[in-house]
Chain A
Amino acid sequence: MKKILSVFLGILIMVGTFSSCSKPSSNQGSSDNKSLNKSQIEIIQATNPEKLPQVARDRKDTLIVGTTAPNGTFNPIYSGSLYDSWVCSLIFDGLISNDAEGNPIPNVAEKWDISEDGKTYTFYIKKGIKFHDGKELTAEDVAFTFTAICDPNYDGPRTDAVMYLEGYEEYNKDKENKVKEVKGIKVIDPYTIQFTLTEAQAPAIWNFGYGILPKHYYVFEKGNIKKLKDLFLKPMGSGAYTLKNYKPGAEVVFEKNPNYWKGEPKIKTIVMKVTNANTVVQELTSGNVDIDAVGKPEMVELIKQAGFFNIYSYPSNSYGYIGLNLRDERFKDKRVRQALMYGLDRKGFINAYYKGNGQVCNAPVSPVSWAYTDEINQYEYNPDLANKLLDEAGWVKKEDGFRYKDGKKFIIHWMTYTGSKYVESLIPIVKDNWGKLGIEVVPELMEFGTLVEKVYDKREFEMYNMAWSLSIDPDPSGIFSKAQDVPGGNNSVGWVNEESEKLMKQGLTEFNQEKRKEIYKQWNKLANEELPYLFLSYNKDNVAVSCRVKGVNPSPYIDWTYDIQNVEIVDVK
């Protein structure tokens, strides 16, 4: 549902999720919206529930949720896409989960302790949790799950969750099966498990949210991880639903687990049906689908007119930006970056493209995060100031209207990606606005994968634009740290700043959230002043939920799978 940058292919249309992005970790959780900035969530109530089509009324015990096609990697340590992670969160449970504000909360683990030095995590598992086959979930299963990620032949996307476990290297490098276990994973008793890390890191708690695999079902000999892949389509966990049927590219059908430890689910069958952005409005308004994401504001309008949907609209945990290669002499000068920021009518662009469904971004943190601050420079469109800054930086405007420095004309080659309406709207505005400042912009479009290689692996670019989708934890070091300034690393622009390094380190090792908040506020001020990126936009997610469904309240950190056992279908008059 989170279509960060809906990618339209010219003729070969297809809406994918090129999210240059991370997926929010496990998205299930329970708790209420305590301190989440509620003004950010807008709920449009259904105005005419009586217009609910007959097909939907007749579907008494089945919930149909629209989705982009999952890959069929139905295993919490392998699931790559958001849609596979939905499947996993219905079938599996993790040690911890998160609430609507993005705080960790107990799930399979009733509680947990973090040692003084921040390196040892002890989880206490709730007794009596049963897997779908009736066997009890114990610490052994947890240990098995995390050991599987450490396997020498593991090729899934979760390695970063175990890399800091003590003994990971020894276990992972050993292909002769001499090292039998990971030192940092210790089963204390059937209901207690302890993880020891080599470094203390505040966000490390999120590494323990992934669904737990039953050892007796998935067990495999070290190195023979193929067994997990063979069982992708026969997943078994402890979750509220079991997989009943999977038709690749079409649908995933679930049936409730009547013995679910959090209570018997109220809906018998859930179908995740594949939809696409082009026909989602037709699917929703004809009553074929109960819940789906709606991208464009015009479509939200059509759904609103249908009258029988509650629409949840909130900023997504992501932002769009322009990256300048800071190894380039021209962009090393902070004044030039600020001038480009002031000289771009970001608000005009956002209004034209999002039509009220987005807002201007000024720092690399989402407005939904507890680390967000708006006590920062807003960089309102100001061409005069931009011109002044460029003059100061030594870029002189000549008679031809362009700026020159040391005899060189200010031309920016901008590499961007094809098939995106976002880009197609941005290009003319950037060309026009910066052209007025005396800078020539030459846009060049390439296929997304090609662009990614150029930007991250080869780092051959002057300027590009992309988007980041963020994790729950606001730690920015995964993107902006010096350590990431290597080929293949995420700090492709090469922003290295001592002050930033210091603050990020502090933020990582501080476990008190209030204090972290203060640290990230400072860091965001710094990023806002230094502009490692030219920040562009935040977009909103819009989720339509049929008025016959009760208990689904999507918000930035929780989606429809949250507390699914409490979701019910009600009669509509």
Chain B
Amino acid sequence: MQTVRSVEAKIREEKILGPWQLAWIRLKRNKLAMLGLYILIFMVLLSVFGPMISPYNMETLDLSNISAPPSLSHPLGTDEVGRDVLTRVMYAGRISLSVGIVAVLISVLIGSIVGAISGYYGGIIDAVLMRIVDIFMCFPFLPLLLMVAAVMSDYKIHPNYRIYVVMFIIGILSWPGLSRIIRGQILSLREQEFIQAAEALGLRDRRKIFRHLLPNTFSSIIVSATLEVAGAILTESALSYLGLGVTPPTPSWGNMVNAVTDAYVFQFYPWRWVPPGICIFITVMAINLLGDGLRDALDPKLKH
């Protein structure tokens, strides 16, 4: 009786320490990864609650106080029409963080699944999927984006809601690259011994792909996600040239950091572009640290 109970307890304990909990424990041990996580949480809190605490509104102008350097009343100075830069940076975080994260999630989800299926099955499935990827990569996005912008304005979609479309577009734009990277790795991985072993064990395809193959490409996914977060934040402001990004006066880090395109601002008003630049950097770095930690934590080969 007692042995049964102890076995049961053991099973329960095993359950408590399922792979995800194990990973979480390992992650918690990784100081750098936790630092990344905390920074990310901090950035999110700052952009959600910061603008509420700030005495300024992100739209309040002060034409008598244009491009003022940092001071006690404006810790990060003011911009070209006298708005408080700190408030705008915090507000911009809402847009940029959500664009960055949502777009990357979309791209990673589609990219890795398509890549894995294509790489694993090969043959006709691979050929068809990869031709679709080819077409996506050759797609004339420029006129398409102009069209989407025009259609949204025809239907009078409020400028503030267009940002959701932008997230989706950036995600859609970037998955084909990732899918080719994943596919390439899977082509190589599926020939390795452990997959042959899995084959011999008669595991189902889904299990092989999602439990055995994809986790081994995790490091590439993490790298591409980190690169894409930064890319997405900056792309948002490039899309606004086509009439698709956020509409001024709403700020985003991307369009704030682009104040640097003005050579004079670059040289003499650094407070207008350094803070959003640092925010992008810190966010990307945090995601990178967290990503590296996650990869290690999830690595099935790592002994603990």
Binding site for B on A (CB under 8 A): 8-13, 277-279, 281, 296, 298-299, 302, 345, 348, 351-353, 413, 415, 418-419, 421, 423-425, 427-429, 431-432, 442-447, 449-450, 454, 460
Contacts and interface: CB of A to CB of B under 8 A. Distances in A.
Given A279-B263, A352-B80, A443 B159 contact: yes
B2 to A, nearest CB: 69
B153 A9 contact: no
B11 interface: no
Contact of B263 (A12, A278, A432, A446): A278
A446 B81 contact: no
B146 A281 contact: no
13 contacts: A10-B237, A10-B255, A10-B258, A13-B258, A278-B261, A298-B268, A415-B153, A418-B243, A444-B153, A445-B243, A449-B146, A450-B149, A454-B153
A10 B66 CA distance: 21
A107 B232 CA distance: 57
Contact of B59 (A413, A415, A432, A454): A432
A421 B59 CA distance: 16
B243 A425 contact: no
Contacts of A415: 153
Interface in B144-159: 146, 149-150, 153-154, 156, 158-159
A447 B159 contact: no
Most interface-central of B154, B158, B263 (chain A CB within 10 A): B263
Given A445-B248, A447-B243, A428 B268 contact: no
B83 interface: yes
B235 interface: yes
A442 B234 CA distance: 25
Interface string B241-275: 11101011100001100100111100010000000
A447 B241 contact: yes
Interface in B22-65: 59, 61, 63
A425 B80 contact: yes
A450 B263 contact: no
B106 interface: no
B290 to A, nearest CB: 26
A445 B240 contact: yes
A415 B243 CA distance: 10
B238 A444 contact: no
A444 B63 contact: no
A444 B156 CA distance: 9
Most chain-A CB neighbours within 10 Å: which of B248, B249, B258, B268? B248
B263 A443 contact: no
A461 to B, nearest CB: 10
A298 B267 CA distance: 11
B216 to A, nearest CB: 35
A345 B63 CA distance: 10
B81 A11 contact: no
Given A10-B254, A418-B240, A418-B243, A444 B235 contact: no
Nearest to B80: A425
B263 A299 contact: yes
Contacts of A13: 258, 261
Contacts of A279: 263
Contact of B61 (A413, A429, A443): A429
A11 B238 contact: yes
B254 A428 contact: no
Given A13-B258, A444-B153, 4 more contacts: A9-B261, A443-B248, A445-B240, A450-B149
A128 B61 CA distance: 65
Nearest to A451: B243
A443 B243 CA distance: 11
Nearest to A453: B150
Given A446-B150, A447-B149, A428 B240 contact: no
B248 A413 contact: no
A57 B66 CA distance: 40
A425 B248 CA distance: 9
Contacts of A299: 263-264
Closest 6 CB pairs of A and B: A446-B243, A11-B238, A10-B237, A298-B264, A13-B261, A9-B241
Contact of B245 (A10, A348, A421, A428): A10
A352 B247 contact: no
